[in-house]
A and B are shown apart, each in its own frame.
Chain A
Amino acid sequence: MMYRAVARHAAKLVSVLALVSVTTFLLLETIPGDRLASVLPEGATPEMRAAAEERFGLNGSLPERFFSWLGSALQGDLGRSMQSQVPVTDSILERLPVTLELATLSILLALLIAIPVGVYSGYRPGGLVDRIATFLCSITLSIPSFLLGVLLVFVFAVTLSALPVTGWTPLSEGLVPHIRSLVLPVVTLAAVETVGFIRLLRNDMVATLQQDFVLSARARGLSTPRILLVHALRPSAFSLLTVMGVSLGRLIGGTVIVETLFSLPGLGTLVITAITGRDFLLVQGIVLVVAVAYVLLNALVDLTYPLLDPRVRTS
C-alpha cells in the first residue's frame, strides 16, 4: 500500500531531522572551556555572567535548553550572533544566495559537459572519447578542489590575466563582471560533479543500449541521435535527476573551500569566520540549516523520483 510506504518514509525523515538537531545541539555543548569567553570581559561579575547566559540561552538544564533552542529554531529564530549581534537567521539568509548560485551553476555546468560525454562514451565504450574521458576523470578525482582551484587561478588569473584572482562581483554591478568572478569557482566545483555524472551516464547508457527496445528502435530505422537521446537517455535521466538533487544538497554545505579560496561571501566563508571567532551560536545555526537542507532535499528527491519515472508511477 502506497500510504504505508509514505508513512514509513515520513517517520524516517522526522527521526533523522530530530537526530540531526540533537546532534547539532550536543556538538556545541561539548566544547571544552568557557563558551562565553569571547563575550565576557575579564573580571566579569557573576551577575554579568548570569545575564550573558540568559542572553545566549545558556542557562537552565540540558533538556530545557535544547527544547527552547529547538522551539525558537522552528519559528525561524536561531539566536543572535555572539560577535555581531546580528540575528543568525539574517546572516544565513544574506549569504545563502551566493552559495546557492555557486552550487546550481556548478551542477548545470557539470551536466552540460557530462551529458554529451557520457552519452557518447556509453555509445562507443572503449573508444577514444571513452578512454580519454575515463583518464581525465580519474585524474580529476585525485586533485582536491583547493589544489584545482589554485591551479586554475595560476593559469587563468595569474598567467593569462583573463579572470579575476579572487573576489565576488554582485549581479547589481553588471552581468559580465558578475559572471567573470564566478567562472573559476564554478569550474572548480563542477569538476568533481562532472566526473560523477559522466560515470553514471556512461554506465547507464551501456546497459540501456544492450536492451531489446534499442535494437527494436534501430530496426524501425530511427536515426542514431534520436535513439540515443530519446530512447536511451530518458531512462537514465531519472537517476541523473536523483543524483543532481543529492549533489545540490551536498554542495550547499560543500562550498567552503572554494568560497575561501576565491573570497566569495557565501555560507562557507561565514562558517569559517564564525568558527575562528568562536561564535558558537552562529556555527550551530549554520550547521543546522545546512544539514536540514540536505536531509529535506534528499527526501524531496526520493519523493519525486517515482512521480517522474513512468515505469514506477503506475502500479
Chain B
Amino acid sequence: MTVNGKDIDAVTQVLQQDTETPTLAVTDLRVWFDTPRGMVRAVDGVTLDVAPGRTLGIVGESGSGKSVLSRAVMNILAPSAVVRSGSRIEFEGRDTATLGREEARKLWGARMAMVFQDPMTSLTPVLTIGAQLTETLRRHLPMSRSEALDRAEELLEWVGIPEPRKRLKQYPHNLSGGMRQRVVIALALACSPRLLIADEPTTALDVTVQHQILALLERLQREQGMAMVLITHDLGVVAGRSDEIAVMYAGRVVEQAPTKVLFREMRHPYTRALVGSIPRISDPSHTRLRAIPGRPPTVVDPPPGCAFAARCPHARPRCLAETPVLTTDGTTGDRHRHACFFPVGTPAGDDAWTTNLDEGRTAAGLPVDSRSVL
C-alpha cells in the first residue's frame, strides 16, 4: 500500500530486515574462462557487499571484469566460464550455489534482477512488450493471463511510459531508445526484486535520456526499498547516485569506499586517473582529454605484481614483484580499502612519485613528467 508515494510495505520490510545481513555478499569470487589461449581470469578474487536499500557503484574500464561479475551473480555465465572453488555468492544470507530448482526459480529474475546495457538488443524483437512482461510475471508469480496483463500495464505506467495499454501490443522496435530502456526496467522490476543490477544502463542512450533513466532508477529504488548495483565505466554516473563505489581493474577491486570518502580521499592511482579523466565544464574549450596511457591487460597467466603497474605513475620495483592486497590504511574509516603499496596522498606515494619524476620514468618503464599526474 502506498502512503505519500512510498510503498509502506517495502519500507517496513527493509526496516524489519536484519540490517546486519547484506542483500548481496560476494566473497573471493574468481571466474575464469577456458579459451584456446589459456585461462582468462576475468574476475580474480573480488569481495563486495551491498546492504539492503543501498546502492553500490562498480566502476572500471572494459575488460575489468565488472560485467562478468554481474553475470556470475545472476547465474548467466557462458558455458565456458569456470567459477573457481572458494568463491561464494550470498543473497540475503543464502549461498546461491546451494539453491534447489524451485528456490532458484524464485530467485533469479524475481528477487534478483538485471538491467542490461543496450535496450535495442535486450528485448526479444519478435514478441510484443505485453507478451514479454506477462511471461516474466507468470513465470515467477501465480497469475492468470488477465491479471498479468493488468499488472504489466501498471508496471509500464510506473516506469513512466504513456499510454501503457497500447504499448502492450507493440513490438520493441516501435519504441524509442529511452522508452525501451524503461520497458527493460519494468521487466526487471516486475516481481519486486530485492536487488537490481544495472549493467551500464545508460551507456547506449542519448545524454538527455540518460539523466531521466538514472533518476527513474533512483525513484524506483526508493519506492521499493531495494538494493542496487550500478555498473559503469563512467564515474560521473555513480558519483551522485551511489552510497559506495568499488573500482575494478583487471578482474580485481583496487579501491572501494563510501562515495564521498572516495572522491575526497582517493588512494589508488587508478582511481585518481579515472577521476582526472572526467572532462569538466569548467575547463577551457579545447582542453586535451586526459587519458590513461596504455591498455588494460587481458588476464591470462598474470605475472606477479600489481596489474596496474605498467600504466601507473607511482610504480616502483616492489609493484612488479608483489601483488598488493586490499587493506584499509586506518585514516579514512573501515569501509575504505585500497590495494596499493604507494597510494596517493600518503608519504610513501609521494616519495614514489618524486623518485619516478626524477628518473623520468617509472620502474615499469613508463615515461613520466610533471603532466603525468592527473
Contact = CB atoms under 8 A, between A and B. Distances in A.
Question: Which one of A217, A223, A230, A231 has the highest number of Cβ atoms from chain B below 10 Å of its Cβ?
Answer: A217
Residue of A213, A217, A220, A311 with most partner-chain B CB within 10 A:
A220
Interface string B87-127: 00000000000000000110111100110101001111111
A216 B122 contact: yes
Contacts of A223: 139
A196 interface: no
Contacts of B187: 220
B211 to A, nearest CB: 23
Contacts of B173: 310-311, 314
Given A310-B125, A311-B125, A218 B76 contact: yes
Given A215-B76, A310-B171, A311-B173, A222 B124 contact: no
B171 A221 contact: no
A213 B124 contact: yes
A262 B127 CA distance: 45
A60 B211 CA distance: 81
19 contacts: A213-B125, A215-B116, A216-B114, A216-B122, A218-B76, A219-B74, A219-B76, A219-B116, A220-B113, A221-B107, A221-B136, A221-B139, A221-B140, A222-B135, A231-B124, A231-B127, A309-B126, A310-B125, A310-B126
A223 B108 CA distance: 11
B346 interface: no
Given A221-B104, A235-B126, 4 more contacts: A215-B116, A216-B184, A220-B109, A226-B135
A212 interface: yes
Given A212-B121, A314-B171, A220 B136 contact: yes
Nearest to A210: B78
A235 B123 CA distance: 13
A219 B116 CA distance: 9
A212 B118 contact: yes
Nearest to B122: A216
A213 B105 contact: no
B139 A220 contact: yes
Contacts of A216: 114, 116, 122-124, 184
Interface of B: 71, 74, 76, 104-105, 107-110, 113-114, 116, 118, 121-127, 135-136, 139-140, 171, 173-174, 184, 187-188
Given A219-B76, A221-B140, A314-B171, A213 B109 contact: no
B36 to A, nearest CB: 13
Contacts of B171: 310-311, 314
A69 to B, nearest CB: 47
Contacts of A314: 171, 173-174
B105 A221 contact: yes
Given A212-B118, A314-B173, A314-B174, A222 B126 contact: no
A223 B140 CA distance: 11
B139 A222 contact: yes
Contacts of B121: 211-213
A315 B110 CA distance: 34
A199 interface: no
B100 to A, nearest CB: 14
A217 B108 contact: no
A234 interface: yes
Contacts of A235: 125-126
Interface in A196-228: 211-213, 215-223, 226
Given A212-B118, A213-B121, A221 B126 contact: no
Contacts of B107: 221
B145 to A, nearest CB: 15
Contacts of B71: 215
B43 to A, nearest CB: 17
B109 A219 contact: yes
Contacts of B135: 222, 226, 230
Nearest to B78: A215
B124 A219 contact: no
Contact of B123 (A213, A219, A234, A309): A213
A213 B122 contact: yes
Nearest to B106: A221
A217 B121 CA distance: 11
Contacts of A218: 76
Given A310-B171, A314-B171, A219 B125 contact: no
Contacts of A230: 127, 135
B125 A222 contact: no
A219 B110 CA distance: 10
B126 A217 contact: no
A225 to B, nearest CB: 12
A212 B116 contact: yes
B246 to A, nearest CB: 21
Given A213-B122, A230-B127, A231-B124, A219 B174 contact: no
Interface in A295-315: 309-311, 314
A221 B188 CA distance: 11
A149 to B, nearest CB: 39
A230 B118 CA distance: 21
